[in-house]
Structures are given as C-alpha cells and as structure tokens.
Structure 1
Amino acid sequence: MDRKFKNRIREQFGRTATAFVEATHFTGGQDLEEAARLLQPTQDDNMLDVACGGGHMALFFSPMVRQVVASDLTMQMLKKAQEHIAEEGLVDNVIFREADAEDLPFPAGSFTLLTCRIASHHFADVPRALSEFHRVLRRGGRMVIIDTLLPEDPEIADFFQTMEQLRNPTHVKAFSEEQWRQMIEDAELILQETRIIPKVHDFQEWVKTAGLNRAKIQELNKFFMEASPKVHDFFKIESFAGEVETFTDQKLLIYASRKEKEKK
C-alpha cells in the first residue's frame, strides 16, 4: 500500500509541477524570512531541502550557504524546479536528487541545515521522516519545518482535513502544535522555537496547484460556501457572488536542532 501511495504522489505532483513552480504563494513570504532569521545560514553550511517542490526554498537560501541539495520524490517536479532555478540565473550551488523523505539516500551527518516546507502533510509516516532528518543532520545541525497547522477546534479541524483531501487526495494529515512538539521530542531533536504565521490564499491559484477540473473546483467552492459561520470566521473566507476569492490558514514553523556532540 505504501508503494501505491508513493506512486499516487508522484502522479499527482508530476501532473501539477508547472503550476507549483508558477504559484506566487510559494515564491516568497514571511515564513521564508523567518526561517532564515532562525537558521542563520552561513557560507559554511551544506543544506538539504526535503520535498523541495518548485525549488522556491532552495533558491531563496542558495546565496546564503555553500551548497543546497534539493530533493523530491517526484522526478518531474525536480526537473521543473531545476528549470525554474536555472532561469533565475547566477545560481550554481543547487543540486537535485530524487529522494523519499522517509528513506533519504544520504549518509549520516551529511548536512548542517535542513528545511522542509509545506510538504509534511503528504508524508505517510512523519515520525519516520523526522528520524531520517535526525540521521542526516550533523551534530549541532539546525532544521526548519513549515507546514499547515491543524486547528485546535474539532469542528474547524474536521473541515480543514476534509477540505484538504477534496483538493488533493494525497493529503494525509496535518498536526497540531502539541503533536509536532511530541514528534520532535520523540525523534530526539531539540525544539528551539515555534512560530504561527497566517497565510492568505487566492482560491483560484490554490486549486490550480492541485490540478482540479471544473467540477471538482465547484464542489470545493460549495464546501467552503456552505461551511458554518465559525469556519468562515476562522479561515477569513472572502467571497463574491457565491465564489470564494480568498481564505487564510495558519502555518506552523518549527525550528529545531540536533544535539551537539558531548564534550569529554
């Protein structure tokens, strides 16, 4: 079943790779700036960007570090990311590797920095991925994970999970901040800081990155419009003439590190 699911991910993101590269909500944002502030990258750092998608995180950090390895499960996504970064010019320190986040093909201690942005909710086994992140990080290495935050309210959380699966069937699960804290601890990583960052989404661009047809878009629009007032308030859903225009969710930024080697 795991292999079938991974193939579904490859099919889904291979089909939508161009839309991911072009999506404006990936190209910048407060989350990237905050990640850089916390990680404090230097020219001595060797960075791994897990599930790199369109390559936006790798491109953002490339001038700040010695090298970035941009990895993704989907080869077509990697090709589009490589094209995107090449088109930007003046970037010669990003290399691309096909890799499963839950079984990274890198030796232990290969990287001083690791990032993973808006991808973990597609992982079949997040604890296993975190174990791999711990393994490939050098002692004292720093890590930032950014992902959509699961709301605490059960009604809103249920709406969110259903909405994400309607949009993209490869969505597995989002997690609350407390769940992330526990998983980080279980992976023997040291949690340094967390940040909650609101993110405004243009509805039409958001559905475009999932490659939805007109019928599916209408179904998702109806699901939004018929949600309770509590859900509308939480996600700040803005609409016109029965069509959703924008909504706002929350991203959780997790800054953690691997324990330094103990001095004798």
Structure 2
Amino acid sequence: MSDVTGHGDHSAVVERQFGGQAAAYLSSQVHAQGEEFAQLHERVARIDAPRVLDLGCGSGHVSFQLADLAAEIVAYDLSPRMLAVVGEAAIERGFNNIRTVQGIAESLPFADDSFDVVCSRFSAHHWRDVGLALREARRVLKPGGLAAFIDVSASEQPLFDSFLQTVEMLRDTSHVRDYAPSEWAQRVGEAGLVMTSSSRQRLRLDFETWIERMRTPDVMRDAIRHLQRDVGQEVRDAFEISDDGSFTTDMLVLWATKEHV
C-alpha cells in the first residue's frame, strides 16, 4: 500500500467535524433515503451471499439497506464515534452480520480480493487522496466484483464548480472536493477499475437542516447566505437557490467493476 504520510491532520479535522454529530446523521433524511438505494439493492441482490465493504460508512445507511442481502458487511469509517452509532443501531435492528472497522480510505486493512461489493456513499469528498482510496478499493474488490460510488457532483462549468466548492468548505472545513463526472471517470480509470455506467440525480438540501447537521458557526453560515445573495442569477438558477437558502445540487451514481486478469 502507498504512503499516507500527512493524513493525520486531515483525519483529525474530519473526526472533529463529524464525531459529535453521528446521531444527527443517523436520523438525517438526506442520508437515510434516496432512489439510489433501490438500484444498489437490486444489483447486490444478484450476488449470492456477498461480502460487502461500506467504505466511509458514516452512520451506516448503506449497511442497513444491504444487511438482508449480505453474508457480511464491514462498516468502515474514520470516525470511532460514527462507528459506535452504527454498531448500536445494527444491534437494535437485529443485523448480526454488520461489523465495524476504523480507518482511513487510503489505507484499507483488508486482504486483496476480499469483497464482492465495495460501496461508498457521500464519503469521497472527504478523502484526502481520492486516487489512492480508489486504488485501495480496487485492491480489496474481487475480480468481477461490484463497486458503487455515490456522491455530490461538481459541475463541469468552472463558475458553478467554484460556487459549490466554496459553500461546501464554508459549511464543513473537512471538505476536500466534490468531483465532476469527468473527474470521476478519469480517476476511476486510473485506479484500474472499469466504469460500467453512471447517472445523475438532483438532491434538494434544506438550508437550516444542512447547516445544523454540521454545527456550522454563525460566521460561516452568514458567509454562505451572503454568497448566495451576491452571485449572479445564472448561479442562483443553476442551484435553484430559495429565499431561505435551500438549494439543489447534483449527485453522481457511478458503477464500476474489477476485470478478471
């Protein structure tokens, strides 16, 4: 595995941002619901008793959605407090096939070719080195296995991309980058995975809930609102920004596999 020197500082920022809000993410409707779950469930159901890695599991929504299909699910995340919430919720829901493992996406403590499915949802924009994390995902995926990457998607247009990255960073200092579809395609290919399909969805975010979930300081919250009001009309239209600050952004659902050698 490659050197991950320098990840400690960023990991601390991520844990500071998310650890204390683990329960809020468990109850978040944005994270608990989504039409992509039906696609994921349908595709994973084609695999007999799969072993699944929920990469950057957060509060465990992918794990819970797939628990009835899998022989084992490993819920993997940087945050110990997130993993504690996942473990408790799994017990409460009777999912005995979910276990939690702590670590970073760029250095997975698993053997080569050990998972039938690797899925990551709303995590990649926090990875310090997305290319390295994708190579690790490929390494632990079995040949012919299913990989799914689901995340907020940046625009291919620089103006819209700049706006999104700015509001994301103001809200959450652990944010690294939302990637555009072309960036995803390039990085997935460079990691040695074969992209089989991708689709776009629109995601509506209620401003107050979005801010409260991350406990964004008032100064940052106010900066986002000022930015929303001061940008040009084409940006406001592209993100469907409402008077209360709520807005819509793109999501990318990307499917890939690891070819047999």
TM-score by length of 1: 0.92
Give the 5 Å matches for 1:60-75: 60-75=65-80
Superposed counterparts of 1:226-245, under 5 Å: 226-239=230-243, 243-244=244-245
After superposition, the C-alpha distances for 1:190-243 in whole angstroms (9 at most, x for unaligned) are: 11000111111111111122111334323322222322211111111122xxx3
Matched to 1:117, the amino acid is R
Matched, 1:196 2:200: yes
Does residue 137 of structure 2 align to residue 133 of structure 1? Answer: yes
Aligned partner (choices 221, 227, 237) of residue 225 of structure 2: 221
Q: Which amino acid aligns with 1:260?
A: H
- State which of 202, 210, 216 in structure 2 corresponds to 1:212: 216
Which residue does 2:260 correspond to in 1?
260
Shift in alpha-carbon separation, 1:171–1:64, aligned structure 2, 3 A: same
Which residue does the alignment assign to 2:13?
A: 8
Instruction: Give the whole-Å Cα distance in 1 for the aligned partners of 2:194 and 2:235.
Output: 34
Q: Which amino acid aligns with 1:194?
A: S
Matches within 5 A, 1:4-153: 4-87=9-92, 89-153=93-157
Partners of 1:55 and 1:70 within 8 A in 2: yes
Tell me the distance in 2 between the aligned counterparts of 1:195 and 1:145: 11
Tell me the secondary structure at the aligned position of residue 100 of structure 2: strand
The answer to whether the 8 A contact 2:198-2:252 is kept is yes
Distance 1:166 1:45 in 2: 39
Q: Residues 44 and 65 of structure 1 are in contact (CA less than 8 Å); yes or no, is this contact kept in structure 2? A: yes
- Read off the aligned partner of 1:257 and give its amino acid letter: T
User: Is the 2:126–2:175 contact (alpha carbons within 8 Å) kept by the matching residues of 1?
Assistant: yes
Per-residue CA distance 1:62-92 (angstroms, 9 max, x = gap): 11221110000110111112223333x2321
* Identity percentage of aligned residues: 27
Are 2:233 and 1:251 aligned? no
- Please report the RMSD computed on the Cα atoms of aligned residues, expressed in angstroms: 1.4
Question: Contact 2:90/2:96 (CA < 8 Å) preserved in 1?
Answer: no
In 2, distance between residues paired with 1:41 and 1:166? 41
8 Å contact kept, 1:41–1:64: no
Moved more, 11-20 or 45-54: 11-20
Would the alpha carbon gap of residues 40 and 194 (structure 1) be closer, same or farther in structure 2, given more than 3 Å must change? Answer: farther
Question: 5+ unaligned residues in a row in structure 1: which ranges?
Answer: none
Q: By how many angstroms is 1:180 displaced?
A: 0.9
Q: Distance in 2 between matches of 1:252 and 1:198?
A: 9
- The structural deviation recorded for 1:17 is 1.5
The TM-score with structure 2 as length reference comes to 0.93
Q: May I ask how many residue pairs the two structures share in their alignment? A: 256
Secondary structure at 1:209 match in 2: helix
Q: Distance in 2 between matches of 1:221 and 1:259?
A: 46
Q: Which amino acid aligns with 2:107?
A: D
Secondary structure in structure 2 of the residue aligned to 1:44? coil
